[in-house]
């Protein structure tokens, strides 16, 4: 049976099953195929903190949401149009999010009494009418998968494990994805185990053919490619983009890259990625703890490396003292905090933006640090490069606030031409810069560049520059230990002025306001950019004029921030915290910034934003 597919402008799919069901792999592969096909897309992986939570329970549900579109989109979508549920728990954990009329495809084989009980169902939802608002397709995925792979001699127990490939095949048919790339990928990915390769391939074909032949699905859909600018693209996660940005700027600048890190969710993938890149001379050091990870980076920075430490919230707590030392030593260093739900262990795999005030103020003493936040997965690449530029130019630690949503989410990323990434000149000190009391040339480690207030970066091994630095307060210019109060005040101001002076390298904020009629401004920072931009578009589509401004530089804030804030009647700031940027803006600019808060371990929905705009306009 051949159908001509109905065109769709966009669709939101959510794959949900047990942690061990391969939902992340399935979602990622569908995403990649859609990317190669030319759709715009955004993804939202959602998995439990436990590696293998009890099978079949709500706590063990792992899900992967993707929106694919024929036009430019900025988020993974609010509510799934299609839920693929591999078991009752996958259904129960997600059904409440669905709008009436949504499509549910269930693996009906998994809906036995035991599985229903584990998921907390007393009645079978497929039989009790509770899903009557949805289009439910009951597909015997397990048995069809087992039957398909039995032909190649796989034991039934093992064959069942390929059922995610059946689901992938079915969805690929439903959304008219070309299958050649997937089959090639299966061949490559499972080349080492021919039986598994064949089983997965058979399951995938069985799913695809089921869509084609079963007549269960009356309609097949097609989502045309989105109008991308010509060029080459890769689908990239925020963590990968961040790692690549660091490799790229180190390579271009001819600086050795050093990462000191301690494993922590959701930042570990940056450590994993950088550990692969020894061909670029990247040194990765898995330290004994978060403190040593930061401390080793300070040692590497002192040695002349582009030094980085990566972590998430609890690790940032532990690194605070070392970051303070880097502030005092005035050495370049990058601290990446992939934010997750807190306090304490909190929600290790879920997104939150609750570390902003910590990054800005979470150290004793007057301890200013530039802070940047990427807006999308791909933007993590640029943010890493910019952080390195600021760190080296101003000889300062720089904090990057990524988050779990950016870290694991993906988007099509235009591959840059490496030659367009301009190198950083580390401007290492090469000789004496002062004269001592006897008139001999000497080296003063705290004699500053009058323009940037940066001190010299003098790495060991250069004769004539031997010097001592430390966490004790230093005398202005000479860097000798100094307890004098007046000097401390001078040095405190110098450190503050230096970081404030980074504003010279920060572009002015740009307000996105097509109508020029808006009196309402929405301010975002970090990973909320995409979902909020989607909400702003909704409001505009309803005819509501609204301005959107995204802030990438959290410290120092861009020079035109105050003027922009005061030129709108109403300013709302959606944040995945209780209002941290809002409190900074209120304090600094005396503007009545309203907070739209969400701390549910999930991104904003466009609908939340649209509703808030409606409320405040």
Partner 1 sequence: MSTPVQLTTRKDWSSDQEVRWCPGCGDYSILAAVQMLMPELNVNREDTVFVSGIGCAARFPYYMNTYGVHTIHGRAPAIATGLAVSRPDLHVVVISGDGDALSIGGNHLIHALRRNVNITILLFNNRIYGLTKGQYSPTSERGKVTKSTPVGSLEAPFDPVSVALGAEATFVARTHDMDRAHMQETIRRAWAHEGASLVEIYQNCNVFNDGAFTDITSRTSRDDMLIDLHHGEPIRFGAQKQFGVFRHLDGSVYTDTITVDNESQIVVHNESAPDPSGAFALSRLTRSDHEPTPVGVFRSVQRPEYGDVLNEQIVDIQERDGLGDLASLFRGNGSWTVSE
**Closer residue to partner 1 in complex, CB, 277/553:** 277
Closer to partner 1 by CB, 146 or 410: give it: 410
Cβ atoms < 10 Å from Cβ of 392: 25
336 lines the binding site for partner 1 (CB under 8 A):
no
Assess contact for 576 and 603: CB atoms under 8 A.
Answer: yes
Residue 314 interacts with partner 1 (CB under 8 A): yes or no? no
Size of the site for partner 1 (CB under 8 A): 73
Query: What whole-number distance in Å separates Cα of residue 101 and Cα of residue 136?
Result: 10
Which residue in the set 288, 439, 440, 450 belongs to the binding site for partner 1 (CB under 8 A)? 288
The region that residue 557 occupies, defined by phi over 0 for left and psi between -120 and 50 for alpha, beta otherwise, is beta
Q: How far is the CB of 448 from partner 1 (least distance, A)?
A: 19
Examine residue 518 and say whether the peptide bond preceding it is cis (omega within 30 degrees of 0): no
The alpha carbon dihedral of 497, 499, 505, 511 has a sign of negative
Which one among 47, 201, 204, 244 touches partner 1, defined by CB under 8 A?
244
Instruction: Based on the shown chain and the rule CB under 8 A, indicate whether residue 263 belongs to the binding site for partner 1.
Output: no
303 near partner 1, rule: CB under 8 A: yes
Q: Which is nearer to partner 1, 105 or 325 (CB)?
A: 325
293 vs 502, beta carbon nearer partner 1: 293
State residue 390 phi and psi, 5-degree precision: -65, -45
| β pairing state of 6-8 and 40-46 | unpaired
Q: For residues 153 and 225, which CB has a smaller minimum distance to partner 1 in the complex?
A: 225
Least distance to partner 1 from the beta carbon of 371, Å?
A: 22
Residue 39 CB, nearest approach to partner 1 (Å): 11
Among 416, 432, 545, 579, which residue interacts with partner 1 (rule: CB under 8 A)? Answer: 416
Encode 408-467 in three state secondary structure: HCEEEEECCCHHHCCCCCCCECCCCCEECCCCCEECCCECCCCCCCCCCECCCCCCCCCC
Q: How far is the CB of 577 from partner 1 (least distance, A)?
A: 29
Q: Quick check: 72 binds partner 1 (CB under 8 A)? A: no
> What part of residues 29-58 is at the interface with partner 1 (CB under 8 A)?
32, 35-36, 38
Contact 535/606 with Cβ under 8 angstroms? yes
Quick check: 300 binds partner 1 (CB under 8 A)? yes
| Minimum distance from residue 180 beta carbon to partner 1 (Å) | 13
DSSP conformation class of 514: S
- Binding letters toward partner 1, positions 472-501, x by CB under 8 A: x-------xx--------------------
Helix (H) or strand (E) holding 179: none
252 binds partner 1 (CB under 8 A): yes
Cα–Cα distance, 322 to 328 (Å, whole number): 10
Please, which residue, 365 or 514, has the CB nearer to partner 1? 365
CB of 486 to partner 1, least distance (A): 20
- Cα(first)–Cα(last) distance of the chain, in Å? 52
230 belongs to the binding site for partner 1 (CB under 8 A): yes
**Residue 194 touching partner 1 (CB under 8 A):** no
Interaction of residue 296 with partner 1, rule CB under 8 A? yes
CA-closest candidate to residue 64, choices 98, 109, 15: 15
- Binding span for partner 1 by CB under 8 A among 225-233, 400-408, 515-523, 594-602: 225-233
Decide if residue 140 touches partner 1 (CB under 8 A). no
Residues 225, 227, 230: CA angle, nearest 5 degrees:
110
Q: Is 196 helix (H, G, I), strand (E, B) or coil?
A: helix
Tokens at 559, concatenated: 């020079």
Closest CA to 66 of 53, 77, 55: 77
Residue 285 CA to residue 275 CA, distance in Å, equals: 9
Compute the least distance from the CB of residue 384 to partner 1, in Å: 13
Cβ of residue 189: shortest distance to partner 1, in angstroms? Answer: 12
**Quick check: 223 binds partner 1 (CB under 8 A)?**
no
Can residue 431 be called a binding residue for partner 1 (CB under 8 A)? no
Task: Check residue 322 for interaction with partner 1 (CB under 8 A).
Answer: yes
Q: Give 438 or 451: the residue with its C-beta nearer to partner 1.
A: 438
- 62 Cβ contact list (under 8 Å, min separation 6): 16, 17, 18, 19, 21, 23, 24, 46, 47, 48
Stretch that binds partner 1, among 68-76, 255-263, 395-403, 527-535 (CB under 8 A): 255-263
Does residue 470 belong to the site contacting partner 1 (CB under 8 A)? yes
**CB count in 10 Å sphere of residue 380:** 32
If binding is defined by CB under 8 A, does position 297 make contact with partner 1? yes
587: contact with partner 1 by CB under 8 A: no
Binding to partner 1, residues 434-463 (CB under 8 A): 459-463
Q: In the complex with partner 1, which residue's Cβ is closer, 187 or 321?
A: 321
CA pair distance 606, 542, nearest whole angstrom? 13
Q: Residues of 41-59 as b/e, b for ≥16 C-beta within 10 angstroms?
A: bbbbbbbbbeeebeebbbe
Distance of CA 434 to the CA centre of its chain: 46
Task: Give dist(CA 448, CA 476) in Å, integer.
Answer: 9
CB of 128 to partner 1, least distance (A): 44
The verdict on 278 binding partner 1 (CB under 8 A) reads yes
Tokens matching residue 137: 């397709």
**Could you tell me the smallest distance in angstroms from the CB atom of residue 578 to partner 1?**
31
Q: Based on CB atoms, which residue is closest to partner 1, 50 or 321? A: 321
Least distance (Å) from partner 1 to the CB of residue 539? 30
* Shortest distance, position 231 Cβ to partner 1, whole Å: 6
Q: Residue 174 in contact with residue 135, Cβ under 8 Å?
A: no
Per CB under 8 A, the list member of 469, 532, 533, 593 interacting with partner 1 is 469
298 near partner 1, rule: CB under 8 A = yes
In the list 123, 289, 425, 508, the residue contacting partner 1 (rule: CB under 8 A) is 289
Indicate the SS3 state at residue 165: helix
> Based on the number of CB atoms within 10 Å of its own CB, is 306 exposed (0-12), middle (13-18) or buried (19 or more)?
buried
Q: CB of 462: closest distance to partner 1 in angstroms?
A: 6
């Amino acid at each position: 049976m051949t159908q001509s597919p109905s065109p769709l402008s966009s669709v939101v799919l959510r794959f949900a099953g047990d942690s061990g069901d391969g939902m992340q792999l399935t979602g990622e592969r569908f995403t990649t195929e859609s990317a190669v096909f030319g759709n715009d897309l955004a993804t939202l992986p959602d998995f439990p903190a436990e590696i293998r939570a009890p099978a079949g329970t709500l706590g063990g549900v792992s899900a992967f949401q993707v929106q694919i579109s024929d036009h430019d989109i900025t988020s993974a979508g609010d509510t799934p149009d299609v839920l693929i549920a591999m078991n009752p728990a996958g259904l129960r954990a997600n059904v409440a999010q669905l709008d009436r009329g949504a499509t549910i495809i269930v693996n009906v084989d998994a809906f036995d009494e035991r599985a229903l009980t584990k998921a907390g169902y007393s009645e079978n939802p497929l039989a009790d009418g509770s899903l009557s608002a949805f289009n439910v397709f009951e597909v015997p995925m397990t048995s069809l998968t087992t039957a398909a792979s039995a032909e190649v001699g796989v034991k039934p127990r093992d064959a069942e494990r390929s059922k995610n490939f059946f689901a992938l095949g079915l969805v690929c048919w439903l959304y008219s994805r070309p299958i050649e790339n997937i089959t090639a990928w299966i061949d490559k990915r499972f080349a080492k185990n021919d039986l598994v390769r064949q089983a997965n391939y058979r399951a995938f074909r069985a799913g695809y053919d089921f869509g084609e032949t079963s007549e269960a699905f009356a309609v097949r859909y097609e989502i045309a490619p989105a109008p991308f600018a010509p060029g080459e693209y890769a689908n990239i996660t925020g963590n990968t983009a961040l790692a690549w940005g660091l490799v790229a700027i180190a390579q271009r600048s001819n600086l050795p890259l050093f990462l000191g890190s301690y494993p922590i969710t959701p930042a570990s993938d940056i450590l994993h990625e950088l550990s692969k890149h020894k061909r670029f001379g990247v040194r990765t050091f898995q330290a004994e703890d978060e403190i040593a990870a930061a401390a080793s980076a300070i040692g590497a920075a002192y040695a002349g490396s582009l030094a980085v430490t990566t972590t998430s919230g609890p690790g940032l707590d532990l690194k605070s003292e070392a970051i303070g030392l880097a502030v005092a030593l005035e050495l370049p260093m990058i601290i990446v905090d992939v934010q997750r739900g807190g306090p304490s262990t909190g929600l290790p795999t879920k997104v939150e933006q609750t570390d902003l005030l910590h990054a800005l103020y979470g150290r004793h003493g007057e301890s200013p640090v530039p802070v940047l936040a990427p807006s999308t997965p791909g933007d993590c690449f640029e943010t890493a490069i910019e952080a390195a530029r600021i760190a080296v130019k101003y000889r300062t630690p720089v904090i990057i606030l990524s988050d779990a949503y950016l870290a694991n989410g993906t988007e099509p990323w235009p591959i840059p031409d490496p030659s367009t990434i301009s190198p950083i000149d580390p401007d290492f000190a090469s000789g004496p810069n002062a004269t001592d009391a006897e008139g001999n040339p000497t080296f003063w480690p705290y004699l500053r560049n009058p323009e940037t207030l940066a001190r010299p970066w003098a790495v060991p091994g250069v004769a004539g520059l031997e010097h001592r630095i430390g966490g004790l307060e230093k005398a202005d210019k000479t860097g000798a230990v100094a307890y004098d109060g007046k000097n401390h005040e001078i040095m405190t101001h110098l450190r503050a002025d230096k970081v404030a002076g980074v504003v010279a390298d920060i572009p002015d904020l740009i307000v996105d306001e097509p109508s020029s009629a808006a009196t309402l401004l929405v301010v975002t920072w970090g990973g909320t950019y995409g979902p909020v931009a989607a909400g702003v578009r909704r409001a505009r589509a309803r005819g509501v004029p609204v301005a959107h401004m995204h802030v990438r530089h959290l410290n120092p804030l861009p020079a035109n921030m105050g003027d922009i804030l005061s030129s709108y009647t109403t300013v709302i700031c959606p944040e995945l915290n209780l209002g941290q940027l809002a409190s900074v803006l209120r304090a600094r600019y005396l503007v009545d910034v309203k907070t739209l808060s969400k701390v549910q371990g999930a991104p904003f929905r466009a609908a939340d934003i649209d509703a808030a705009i409606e409320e405040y306009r």
